[in-house]
Structure 1
Amino acid sequence: MNYTTDTPAAHRPLRIALMGSRGIPATYSGFETFYEQLAVRLAARGHAVTVYNRRHHFKTHAPEYKGVRIVTLPSIPSKHLDTLTHSFLSMLHALWSGNDVFYLVIVGNSPLVWLAHLLGKKVILNVDGADFARDKWTGFAKRYLQWTERIAARSADVVIADSTVIERRYRELFGRDTLYIPYGANPQPRGERHYDSDVLARFGLTSGDYILFVSRMTPENRAHVLIEAHRRSGSRRKLVLVGDAPYVDDYKREVQAACAASDNCIMTGYLFGDDYRQISSHCSYYVLPAGIDGTRPVLLDQMAFGNCVVVRDTPANMEVIGDAGLSFSDADDVDSLAAVIRRLDADQTEVETMRGRALARVAELYSWDRITDQYEALFRSMQPGA
C-alpha cells in the first residue's frame, strides 16, 4: 500500500497518541520496546508523540522521555483488568487532547475503537499474534479474546499485522485485509559494542560459553521445554534464563524447580539496559522455544546482536529467520531441540555462519528506521485533511 500524499497536511507535524502497552522506557515485553523505538524516532522527526504509561508499572513518573510526552494513568492492577482499564482511561485522555493519530495495541482493547468512533476518530490497531491461545488465558478470558478478534476485524480503521501469518489469519477467518508492518531491531555489529555492565561476572558466566533464553516467564514461552532439552542434550554449556512475569506464580515455581535440579542452569530475573545488552552479546546462541505464532520482538533483537538463533518451527518464526537460523520441531519439541543443541555445541563454525547471516538479515529487512518510515507514511495518511 502507498500512503504518500501531496496535500498541505502531509508536511505539518502530527500529534500521535500511542496506547495499550505498559509504557516506556521499555521494561517488560515487545510492545513496550516497539513503542519506545517508534516514539523516540517520530519525536526526533518533529512530531508531538504521547505514550501512555501504567502508574503501578513504574517507580518514577517522569513527564517526558527522549522528546516523547509521557502521560501516566492508573489501572486496576489485576491479571484480567490491568490492560483494558488503563487503555480505556488512555483513550479518553487521548480523545480530548487534540491528537491526529490514535494507535492502539493488543486485540483485547478492540472494543475501545467504538469509543473513538463516537467522536469521529479513526483508530489503528495492532492485534499482535493469536492472543487467546496463550496458556495464561482460560475460560471467559479466552472467549473474550476470541470475540475481540472479530471486533478488531470489523471495527478498526486499520489493522496492523506484524507477520504474514497473522495477515493470512485475518483474511481467511474474518475476510479482513490487514497492513503488514513487522517489528524492527537495531543491528549491532560486534566491534561497535561497549556496555557498562558486570553481568557476566555477577552470574559466573564465561563469554561464548552459555545458551541464552530471554522472554517473559509465562507458559506459552516454554522455558520448561528448553530446560528439559538442555538436560537431555548433555550440553556442558550453562543455560541462562532471563525474564520474569506477573500473575503466573505457579508456572514460575515449576521453572525454578526444574532449573534448580540442574547443575548448569541459571535464572537471572529481569535484566535491562546494559545488563541485557551485555548478556545477549556474549552468549553462544539464543533459543526461542515459544509456541504462540506471531513475530517475537525478542527474536529480532537477538538477531540484531548477531546471535545464532534457534526457534520452534512455527510459520511466523520461520518467516523471520529465513536462512539465518536453525529450528526444531513443534511436533517433537524436547528431543528435536536437544538434537539441535548437541549439533551446535559440536560445530562452532555453524554458529559463526548463522551469526553473520542473522545480522545481515536484520539490517536488510527489519531496521527500526525503515519501520518508522512506514508508520510515518501511514500516520500522515490518516490525519484530518489528508
Structure 2
Amino acid sequence: MKIGILGTRGIPNYHGGFEQFADFFAVYAKEREHDVYVYNSHLHPYKKDNYKGVHIIHAYDPESKIGTAGQFIYDFNCIRDSRKRDYDIILQLGYTSSSIWGWLLPSKPTIITNMDGLEWKRSKYSKKVQKFLLYAEKLAIKTSDYLISDSIGIQSYIKKKYNKNSEYIAYGANVFIPNEESSFTYEDLATNEYFLLIARMEPENNIEMILDGYVKSNSEYPFCVIGNVESTSFGNYLKKKFSKYKGIRFLGAIYDLETLDNLRFNSRLYFHGHSVGGTNPSLLEAMGSHSLIAAHHNDFNYAILEDDAFYFKSADDVSELIKNENKKGRLDLIKRNSDKIETKFSWEYINESYLKFFNTCFNEKNK
C-alpha cells in the first residue's frame, strides 16, 4: 500500500510520542514493502528527503513566527499536499489542529485517525479552547473512515459519546537490555540513588504535586526532571518555584532513547503523573526499562499497570513513597511490567497490529 502519515512534527523523533511512533512504524512498514511517506515540518532539523527508505515530505510550518496558530497552517499544508499523492491509506496522528481541514482530505484514500487523548480536558487550556477542542474531536470522528484508540478508556469514551467503534491499539515500547560491559554514567548520578520523572511541563501531569511531595520527604537523594522546561509558562513557573531546592534538578529535554533508558533503568523510583489521555509512551518506556513505578491513580494508568505499581493522589502520598520505597525490594513488580511490554506492547506487536488494521480497513472500504 501507499501510506501517508500526517499529524507529527516529523521523523526522526525530536519531539514526543507520536513522532516516536511514526519513526518506528514508518520504517517497519517500509521494510515490509509498503510505500511510506511522512510529513515533516520544514523546521525539523532532518533535511533529507529519505529516512531509512521512508519518503520525507517537508511542509511549511510558521509556528516559530506566529506561535500555536502555525500548527493549523502546517496541518493545512500537509493535507493539501496529500490530495496529489494518490495514497491508499492516510494515517492521521491526532486531530487538534487538523480536523478543521478534514473536509479537504482526498476521497480515494482510506482515512484512519488515532484519536489521541481527551485533549479538551487538559487544564492548560482556557474554557474557549477546551470548547474548540471538543468541536475538533467531533470533526475528526466525522471526517475519518476508521478510528484508532490507544487505550481502552478512550475506546469506551468514543463508543459512549459518539456511538462509534474504534480499534484499540496501544502505543509500543521495547524491553531495555543494559550494556553490562559499561557502567552507568550521567553527570554525578549513581545507580539507585535518584528519583526520576519524564514529562511535558503541563499541569495535568501533576509535576508540581510530585515535587511538593519530594520536598516534604526531605530525601537525601536528588530528584531529576526531564522535559523542556522553557517550552511552557508552567514549566518556567515550576523551575522558579523549586529553584531553591538543590535536590531538584531540571535536566531539560533529552531525546536519545539509550540515554533515557539508562536513566530510567538506574533510577530508585520513577514517577508518572499523567492524568489525562490514553496509553502514555513514557509510561510504557519506563516499564520496558525495568523501572519501579509510582503513578498517579487514575483509570488510564491502572489499565496499563494494574497492581504492579505504587499509586499516589497527593503530595503526602508522594512523600511517603519516597521515604519507604526503592526498586531493590520490588523486583517482582518490575518483572511483571517488563513481561507486559514483551507480550502486549512490543513495537513488533503494535506495528503489526497497525498494518493488519490497515488491510482490514482498506479491503472493507474498497470491496
TM-score past 0.5 threshold: yes
Q: How does 1:281-300 map to 2 (within 5 A)?
A: 281-300=265-284
RMSD: 2.1
- For the 8 Å contact 2:95–2:115, the answer to whether it is kept is yes
Structure 1 residue 181 displacement after superposition: 0.7
- Greater relative CO (CA pairs within 8 A, separation 6+): 1
SS in 1 for 2:57: strand
From 343, 351, 366, give the equivalent of 1:364: 343
1:138 counterpart = 2:138? no
Q: Distance in 1 between matches of 2:277 and 2:180?
A: 31
TM-score (norm 1): 0.88
- Matched with 2:248 is 265
Q: Give runs of ≥4 in structure 1 deviating > 6 Å.
A: 193-197
CA separation in 2, counterparts of 1:63 and 1:131? 32
Percent of matched pairs sharing the same residue: 22
Amino acid at match of 1:174: Y
Where 1:111 maps in the other structure, the secondary structure is: helix
Equivalent residue, structure 2, for 1:11: none
After TM superposition, give the deviation of residue 295 of structure 1 in Å. 1.2
- Indicate how the Cα distance of structure 1 residues 85 and 144 shifts in structure 2: closer, same or farther if over 3 A, else same: same
CA distance in structure 2 between the aligned counterparts of 1:124 and 1:41, rounded to whole angstroms? 18
CA offset at residue 79 of structure 1? Answer: 4.3
Aligned equivalents of 1:328, 1:252: Cα separation in 2: 22
Aligned to 1:45: 32
Alignment of 1:155-194 (within 5 A): 155-190=143-178
Name 1:59's counterpart in structure 2.
Answer: 45
Counterpart amino acid of 1:360? D
Q: Aligned pair in 2 of structure 1 residues 287, 97: CA closer, same or farther (>3 Å)?
A: same
Aligned counterparts of 2:49 and 2:355: Cα–Cα separation in 1 = 23
Residue equivalent to 1:105: 93
Amino acid at match of 2:105: A
> Any gaps of 5 or more consecutive residues in structure 2?
none
2:333 to 307, 331, 354: 354
1:197 is displaced (CA, Å) by 8.5
Contact 1:15 1:101 in 2 (8 A): yes
Structure 1 counterpart of 2:13, one-letter code: A
Q: Give, in whole Å, the separation in 1 of the partners of 2:230 and 2:221.
A: 29
- The equivalent residue for 2:315 is 334
Paired residues for 1:203-214 under 5 Å: 204-214=188-198
Structure 1 residue 115, shift from structure 2 partner? 1.5
Tell me which of 200, 221, 227 is aligned to 2:211. Answer: 227
Structure 1 residue 219 displacement after superposition = 2.3
Task: Look up the SS of the partner of 1:107 in the other structure.
Answer: coil
CA contact (8 A) 1:53 1:73 kept: yes
- The TM-score with structure 2 as length reference comes to 0.92
Asked if structure 2 preserves the Cα contact closer than 8 Å seen for 1:197 and 1:275, the reply is no
Paired position in structure 2 for 1:375: 354
| Matched residue, 2:57 | 71
Asked if 1:28 is matched to 2:15, the reply is yes
Q: Aligned-pair distance for 1:195?
A: 7.9
Q: Which moved more, 1:375-384 or 1:311-320?
A: 375-384
- Residue 323 of structure 1 aligns to which amino acid in structure 2? D
Contact 1:73 1:90 (C-alpha < 8 Å) held by counterparts? yes
Quote the offset at 1:378 in angstroms. Answer: 1.6
Q: Shift of residue 361 of structure 1?
A: 1.3
